[in-house]
Structure 1
Amino acid sequence: MGDGTVVGRRERKKAATRAAILDAAMPLFLERGFDEVTVREIADEADVSPKTVFTHFPQKEALVFSDEDERHERLAAAVSDRASGTTISAALKAHYLAEIAAMRSGPQRQILTLMEATPSLVDYAEKMWFRHEDALVVAITKDLELPEPNDEIRFYVRFALHIQLGATHEADPESAIDAGFRLLDEGWTTYHKRLSTLGIGLARGSPRLPQPE
């Protein structure tokens, strides 16, 4: 039996165990509330040990946000895969609105309700969101064809991430997102003009950085 077969089987087993833990945890959380469910109960329901639960999920809150890696990838792709002629801010605004709409409908709505009722989940979600900072910085730096990130890009990303976080809790997220990027883009446009004088950031034949609306 080749090493590849062994590794493949091991990965499938890990994925199955992870899925079983999630299948056990989420119904318990939704039925009784996050704080009322123990890791021991989840482990028993999934027929694994508490240690195994923590092997797959470093802390209890991570069970509610098992799609963190996918969210990470979608955020970076919103910049790197955007259509030609679409600014970074416009791409992020569209991405934010799509993510918020998904959270407010279907199965995700239950998770949002659970999160809003649990302070520790709100805190975890905010920290998780800002862990995406480096990936977005890299995506924008690569998009601008710069050798390395700079302060302007890092501050743009930090403020842009804050815009989504605040808009999630607004009754009219689109208005909040538009207002946030309108303010952010005023400073970002100055940076864009400075890059443009150096011939940077225009490889697609259209502005790569946000323009005032």
Structure 2
Amino acid sequence: MPTTGRRERKKAQTRRALSEAALRLFGERGYDGVTVAQIADEADVSIATLFAHVPDGKEALIFDDGDERGAWLVAAVRERPPGMPVLEALRRCLAARGPFAGDLPPDLRRKRDLIVGTPALRGYSRKLWIAAEGPLAEAIAAESGRDPADLTVRALARYILEVPEIAGAEPDPMAALHAIFDLLQSGWAE
């Protein structure tokens, strides 16, 4: 079992302090009412240190690097039960996360609501989702016997990755998710 070195632990601790400070300040003052300097001050680090940990700016402070999104979706496709259609596996995967998760603890619910209610954070979240297009298209192609470069495979992957942005801001996100997947399912032959 590999152990994390002191430097990595310190970096993770600073990143966590920055994220917690950002969430706290965004909750108190709203996203637009908080500057990067205020977040750095709240976390007791310099602005240079803040940007060393999150070069993308304050939007990135409350997100991870986004790689886990692609991993969840690829695993949902590759590890689905025998006979389960790819789209059903992806529907279930998304339904358990982000704006669709119904049983979140209060702190994660506040974070989700902040993201959904803040255009800059929703935009950054969308960027992270869209970054998973390649791996998701490859997984869909492998499971459907199609070429990953096939336009229909790439389009399906992109449409699925747009679901959190489109459905997440609806009054009933789960119903919107199901409506979108029903539409996609009618046009995708497995």
When normalised by structure 1's length, the TM-score is 0.75
Residues 1:76 and 2:74 are matched in the alignment: yes
Q: Give the conservation status (yes or no) of the 8 Å contact 2:100–2:174.
A: no
Per the alignment, residue 160 of structure 2 pairs with 160
The aligned residue for residue 56 of structure 1 is 53
For 1:22-33, list aligned pairs within 5 A. 22-33=19-30
1:172-192 per-position Cα deviation (integer Å, ceiling 9, x unaligned) = 334333332233223321xxx
Amino acid at match of 1:59: G
Q: What letter is aligned with 1:28?
A: L
Letter in 2 for 1:21: L
Q: Which amino acid aligns with 2:80?
A: R
Structure 2 CA distance, aligned partners of 1:70 and 1:64? 14
Tell me which residue corresponds to 1:195: none
* Matched letter for residue 120 of structure 2: S
| Bigger radius of gyration | 1
CA contact (8 A) 1:72 1:135 kept: yes
Cα RMSD over matched residues?
A: 2.5
Can you give the 5+ residue segments of structure 2 that lack an aligned partner in the other structure? Answer: none
Counterpart of 1:132 in structure 2 is: 132
Q: Using a 3 Å threshold, how does the CA distance of structure 1 residues 110 and 187 change in structure 2: closer, same or farther?
A: same
Aligned-partner Cα distance in 2 for 1:76–1:24: 32
Q: Map Cα deviations across residues 6-62 of structure 1 (whole Å, 9 max, x no partner).
A: x82322221122112122221111111111111112112222211111121121101
Q: Distance in 1 between matches of 2:133 and 2:26?
A: 29
Counterpart of 1:182 in structure 2: which amino acid? D
Structure 1 runs (4+) greater than 4 angstroms displaced? 145-148
Q: How many angstroms apart in 2 are the aligned matches of 1:91 and 1:71? A: 14
The residue correspondences of 1:109-120 to structure 2 (distance < 5 A) are: 109-120=109-120
Distance in 1 (alpha carbons) for counterparts of 2:108 and 2:65: 11
- Work out whether residues 23 and 62 of structure 2, in 8 Å CA contact, stay in contact via their aligned partners in 1: yes
Task: Give the letter for the 1:124 counterpart.
Answer: Y
Query: Equivalent pairs: percent with the same residue?
Result: 42
What is the match of residue 202 of structure 1? none
For 2:131 and 2:139, the matched residues in 1 are separated by 14
Tell me, yes or no, if the aligned pair for 1:29 and 1:37 is still in contact at 8 Å.
yes
Which amino acid counterpart does residue 101 of structure 1 have in structure 2? F
